[in-house]
Every structure is written in structure tokens, then in C-alpha cells.
Amino acid sequence: MKFHLVVISLVFLAVPLTAQDALLPYATGTVTEFLQANKASGLPSIVLYNFNLDSG
């Protein structure tokens, strides 16, 4: 019974997080990795300095 409650709670927690990730049109991770990935794909990059999802 307790196990089921934990699983249900985790699913409910995970759904909004996943939904938020899908909605936000921003890359996550370090700037260096972001730039390297775009360079490898031949894409330009925009970096917004001083922004994070909490402060913005």
C-alpha cells in the first residue's frame, strides 16, 4: 500500500516537471556545453547572461 502511494506521488511530481521542460524554449546545462553542441550542429547560439528560471 505504502509503495503504491510513493509511486503515485512520484508520478504526480514528475508530470509537472516534464511538462515545464517541454514548454520552456531554453537549453539547460552549462554555457560551454551549449555552445559546443550548437557548433557541432552548425547552429548559431543566443546566451542570456544573468538569467535563470528563478530570477527571470
Partner 1 sequence: MLLPSDELKELNKRIPICLSGKELPASCDIRYGQFFYFFTFNENGELTDVCNFSSELAKRKKEGASLPNAFVDMVEESLTIETSLASSERAYLVSEGSQGTFEQLKSKLAELELIGSMRVVRLLRQNADKMSSPALTRFRALSLEIDAVSKQVINKAAIDSLALSIEDFLAAHPNYEAAEELIGSYLKVALKFTFDVSGRCQKVSDRWRKFAKKEDQRAAQALADKLTILCEKQLKDVSDRIDQLKSDKSFEAPRLYAQVGNAQKTLESLDKTASFGVMRPIHKSWREKATAKVRQ
Interface with partner 1 (CB under 8 A): 23-27, 29-32, 34-39, 42-53, 56
Neighbours of 7 (CB within 10 A): 10
Reported as type and span, the H/E element at residue 6 is helix 2-23
The amino acid at residue 31 is V
In the complex with partner 1, the residue whose CB is nearer, 17 or 52, is: 52
Minimum separation from the CB atom of position 34 to partner 1 (A)? 4
Q: How far is the CB of 12 from partner 1 (least distance, A)?
A: 23
Taking the least distance from each CB to partner 1, the nearer of 5 and 42 is: 42
Inter-residue contact 20 to 14 (CB < 8 Å): no
